[in-house]
């Protein structure tokens, strides 16, 4: 049995996103004594325009009294939550990401730390399903007291069709390369001995970050760009006459 190893990096340069990692494998099986084993690495990408955006928004308040810091924070956060609901964000798309209350100290050389007050924070993760309203959602958050806004990050809500598209393309390219090697060696591709798959997100997508609560005269401009996923295959072929 002869062994051949080659690699093939294939894919479309598409601009791009986030995505998951999968692995599939077929257990190795015995090969014929006269077989040539060829290993090919192939990768392919598929892209689409994102259809959801994630934002993290919250309220940061300070006061010398811890109870007042929390109370002011809660009041301001209630306004933020009301603004989200008024903007059409469903409750299932709003999730608390963290609540904290921390003492704030002043530090000076050769002096013990002096308590200055307390800082309270409350943040939520928000999924925006209508990207056409994303700018207005950001503006509403700032107008209603959210002084911590980060994002958005864009994604494809249902990425599986893209993975399927990339799998087909990667496998087609791997088989095409195997046929080329087999032809040059006077052989033919008998079968696939094993296959292993992995996938991942694409390149970074346009994002923005905003802090502060300045009132805006028009919707905040947001560019979603494109999001891509990538599938990589390691395919082992058996070649023979």
One domain for residues 61 and 150:
yes
- Domain count of the chain? 2
For the segment 203-232, what is each residue's pLDDT rounded down to a tens digit?
A: 434 433 333 333 334 578 888 888 899 999
Closest CA to 4 of 192, 181, 172, 194: 181
Q: Is residue 127, in this structure, part of any structural domain at all?
A: yes
| Predicted pLDDT at 200 | 61
Q: Is residue 57, in this structure, part of any structural domain at all?
A: yes
The domain that holds 187 is classified in CATH as 3.30.110.170
Whether 240 contacts 190, CB under 8 Å: yes
Q: Count Cα neighbours of 211 within 13 Å in the Cβ-side half-sphere.
A: 2
The domain that holds 118 is classified in CATH as 3.30.70.2970
Q: How confident is the model at residue 19 (pLDDT cuts 50, 70, 90)?
A: very low
| Predicted pLDDT at 223 | 84
One domain for residues 127 and 197:
no
One domain for residues 125 and 175:
no
For the segment 114-161, what is each residue's pLDDT rounded down to a tens digit?
A: 999 999 999 999 999 999 999 999 999 999 999 999 999 999 999 999
Range of 232's domain? 2-49+158-205+221-240
| Predicted pLDDT at 32 | 83
Gap between the Cα atoms of 57 and 62, Å rounded:
17
Q: How confident is the model at residue 60 (pLDDT cuts 50, 70, 90)?
A: very high
Q: Is residue 215, in this structure, part of any structural domain at all?
A: no
| Predicted pLDDT at 198 | 80
One domain for residues 188 and 138:
no
Closest CA to 91 of 127, 47, 142, 49: 127
């Amino acid at each position: 049995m002869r062994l051949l190893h080659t690699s093939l990096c294939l894919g479309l340069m598409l601009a791009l996103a986030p995505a998951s990692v999968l692995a599939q494998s077929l257990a190795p099986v015995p090969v014929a004594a006269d077989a040539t084993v060829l290993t090919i690495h192939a990768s392919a990408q598929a892209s689409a325009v994102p259809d959801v955006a994630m934002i993290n928004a919250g309220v940061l308040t300070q006061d010398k009294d811890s109870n007042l810091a929390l109370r002011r924070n809660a009041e301001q956060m209630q306004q933020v939550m009301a603004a989200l609901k008024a903007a059409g964000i469903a409750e299932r798309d709003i999730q608390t990401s963290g609540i904290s209350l921390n003492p704030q100290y002043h530090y000076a050389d050769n002096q013990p730390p002096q308590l200055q007050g307390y800082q309270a924070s409350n943040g939520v993760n928000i999924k925006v399903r209508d990207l056409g309203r994303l700018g207005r959602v950001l503006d509403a958050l700032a107008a209603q007291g959210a002084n911590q806004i980060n994002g958005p990050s864009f994604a494809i809500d249902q990425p599986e069709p893209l993975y399927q598209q990339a799998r087909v393309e990667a496998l087609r390219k791997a088989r095409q390369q195997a046929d080329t090697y087999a032809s040059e060696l006077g052989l033919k591709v008998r079968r696939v001995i094993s296959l292993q798959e992995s996938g991942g997100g694409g390149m970074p997508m346009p994002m923005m970050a905003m802090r502060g609560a300045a009132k805006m005269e028009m919707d905040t401009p947001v560019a979603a760009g494109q999001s891509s996923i990538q599938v990589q295959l390691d395919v082992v072929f058996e070649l023979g006459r």
